[in-house]
Amino acid sequence: MNLRSQTKPVEPNKTEEVHSTPQQPEEEEEEPTSTLAVSPTKLDSSTEESGRVRQNSSDSGLPLSPLLENDPSHDLPEQLLVKGWRKLWSKRENRPYFFNKFTRESAWDQPNLEGEFDSSLQDPLGIRSLKPDDTAPGPTPSHTDVRLSRPSIDIPPPRTPGAGDKRRASTDTPDANPAKKIAFPLSSFFNFTIATNIMIDQRKPLTIPCPHPETEFLRSQLTNEARLSFGNSLQTREGIGAPPNAYNRALLAHKIRDKGRDPLLPTQCFPELCMSLFREIMNDIPVKLVKPRYTGDARKLLFRYAEAAKKMIESRNATSESRKVVKWNVEETFVWLRKKGTASYDDYLERLAHLKRQCQPHLTEVAQSSVEGICLKWYHTCCEIARKVAELSATIMKEQGITEATMPVVPPRKMNCYAIHLITPTPRLPTVEYHPDNDYINLTYKKDTVRVTSAHFQKLEQMYRMNCRDDPQLVLYLSRAWCLLKRYQTYYGTDQEGFGMQAALPSPIFECLHRLFGVTFECFASPLNCYFKQYCSAFSDTDGYFGSRGPVLDFFPLSGSLEANPPFCEELMEAMVDHFENLLSESNEPLSFIVFIPEWRDPPTEALIRLETSRYSRKQVVLPAQEHEYRHGLQHNCPQGDVNIKALHGTLVVFLQNDAGFRKWGPTPEKIKELLLAAKPKNS
């Protein structure tokens, strides 16, 4: 039975936007989504029988969120739903009509996919002029309707173009807060109906200052400047560009051992020198070696390396022995190049490898102190930025008479995992403006705009409603959403080079992991790329309001089934393996981690070796290169059509499970087969 083709006229109290708005956070994971759950009796029996998670299609052919698939008010193409259109039932006229939650437009006929319709048919019920609590004939909800107690269904005032009405402040009254008017979106990229199966010991709350647009603005500005100046020092002192993503990897790697309080920047690391950054830079000295495409390029590369090595050894303070060895090898290479005329691609590369082997130890020696200086400068700049940001934060709190909360006593107690709880009161937050722009929402603070797709904006709102404890009216939502988006923007870098570290598994894989292996949790995520509502993320402060359980290395699950797709930073991947192995060794409860890492074997990464040889490893499979996809790291900010990207590398999937975990969620050949099938790109 296809429910979607059986849409019936909707009674007013059933036209409710289907969403949950627990005013309390889901601390005990009292599943707040009972209204969301798809009744088993309503499931498409054919899909149930086949044991596969149903993925109904909307009219547009796009997959529907399990949240909304049974709700006739959402019986519309996704393009229209995202624009705010809903199909409702007019009691007075006894026929369906269409209503836009964002613009308050209404129409008898279904708008076209651009969301437009014949102007003569606009506003058939005159509902644009109604205030949210007006009683009106037809579609207005009855007073018993739970919607009335939920801010998200309030109807915004009419928008008159050009009247500046797009500019709404987060500090406006709740009624004027656009966040409240957003319906929970129809989505194919997350599923918040899935409750956690992760048990933890009760955690201490967080006492650090809450995010504030002013401090976030400063952190971002100074970090961007530091990034730029890091690149400039490398260029002027070492004659190389910054290795792509090295800055981002350094942030990740140094954070592993950081004891400081800044959520983004490392400030208390010992040793101060970030070895991963040091190694990456050294690897590019004296020139970056990129695999050449043609024989001519290979020849040029060999020549360039020889020249650069010579120049470097002559211009630096080298020992006479180093100078002698490098110069001799370089001269020999020049002679070989002259004599050889033309050689094969492989000959050039072999020669280059030989030259590098001979010279590199000497070049490393002469460049060492300078590169260390650059790395230490990077670290000290991070400390300096964090100090300035903390100072500003303290000033804001002092001005508003807020003091940092003291840590309460937390009695030991085993419970379902819950979002990070920030207990220091939030100061008054300044205005953040809201500008819808087609399929995007722009949020602006002090002329600094962050942009997010409407669908992701709505996703954020949904998570905020489920998790935020101190803002039931969503008065602070825009400011906190701005801080979050700004944080991630700063994290990627101004030219967004770090977006690759945010690439996510596609929904069919998550669906499969949940269905077959009981997975309910992502160990590495952000509020923008998570599929489950339970996840760990890099930033406790900005993300905690949106459901994050904080950084994974500070998270200690006792039981449950988790997925891990770490950012591709070798140190973090290694630390992850250590962490998971410790957790597995300490628990007798069922505990399972399904880990996805790149299959880098040339040479193999330490994490890959450790995973493959782990005593908890039950099974490993490879998703071949080009035969599976990731969701773009900027999925929240790029056109829908660009979201799925083919993986250029193989992905190794490893099942780490303790005995109880293996008994409960162990990989069987049939399940693995299904997983491999789920990973296949859908259009291939």
**Contact positions vs ligand SAH (CB under 6 A):** 252, 501-505, 522, 524-526, 529-530, 536-538, 551-553, 563, 565, 567
H helices within 152-212, ranges in order? Answer: none
Among residues 477 and 524, whose Cβ is nearest to ligand SAH? 524
> To 5 degrees, how large is the angle CA 440–CA 524–CA 476?
45
Closest to ligand SAH by CB, 501 vs 653, is 501
Least distance between ligand SAH and beta carbon 475 (Å)? 27
Q: In what order do the strands lie in the sheet with 521-525?
A: 535-537, 521-525, 560-564, 591-598, 651-657, 617-623
CA pair distance 149, 96, nearest whole angstrom: 25
381 or 526: CB nearest ligand SAH: 526
Minimal distance in Å, beta carbon 364 to ligand SAH?
30
The residue among 115 and 566 lying less far from ligand SAH, judged by its C-beta, is 566
Residue number with CB closer to ligand SAH (139 or 551): 551
Of 458 and 565, nearer to ligand SAH (C-beta) is: 565
Q: Which is nearer to ligand SAH, 178 or 551 (CB)?
A: 551
Strand pairing of 95-100 and 85-90? Answer: antiparallel
3 state SS of 107: strand
Shortest gap between Cβ of 264 and ligand SAH (angstroms)?
A: 11
Task: CB nearer to ligand SAH: give 68 or 576.
Answer: 576
In the complex, least distance from residue 631 CB atom to ligand SAH, rounded to whole angstroms: 8
Rounded to a whole number of angstroms, the minimum distance from the CB of residue 351 to ligand SAH is 40
User: In whole angstroms, how close is the CB of 491 to ligand SAH at the nearest point?
Assistant: 7
Min dist CB 663 to ligand SAH, Å, is: 25
CA-based radius of gyration for the chain: 28
Q: Which is nearer to ligand SAH, 138 or 493 (CB)?
A: 493
- In order, the DSSP letters of 397-411 are HHHTT--PPPPPP--
Q: How far is the CB of 445 from ligand SAH (least distance, A)?
A: 22
Least Cα distance to 622 among 593, 654, 669 occurs for: 654
Please tell me the distance from the alpha carbon of residue 431 to that of residue 13, in angstroms, as a whole number. Answer: 35
Measured distance between the N- and C-terminal CA atoms of the chain, rounded to whole angstroms: 28
Q: Which residues pair with 450 in a beta bridge?
A: 443
DSSP character for 643? S
Q: Bridge-partner residues for 535, per DSSP?
A: 522, 548
CB of 509 to ligand SAH, least distance (A): 8
Shortest distance in whole angstroms from residue 195 CB to ligand SAH? 18
Burial, 136: exposed, middle or buried (Cβ in 10 Å; 0-12, 13-18, 19+)? middle
User: 303 exposed, middle or buried (CB, 10 Å; 0-12, 13-18, 19+)?
Assistant: middle
Hey, is 515 helix, strand or coil?
helix
Both tokens of residue 503? 């690439």
Q: Choose between 537 and 559: whose C-beta lies nearer to ligand SAH.
A: 537
Measure the CA–CA gap between 26 and 547, rounded to whole angstroms.
Answer: 9
Backbone angles phi, psi at 654, to 5 degrees: -120, 135
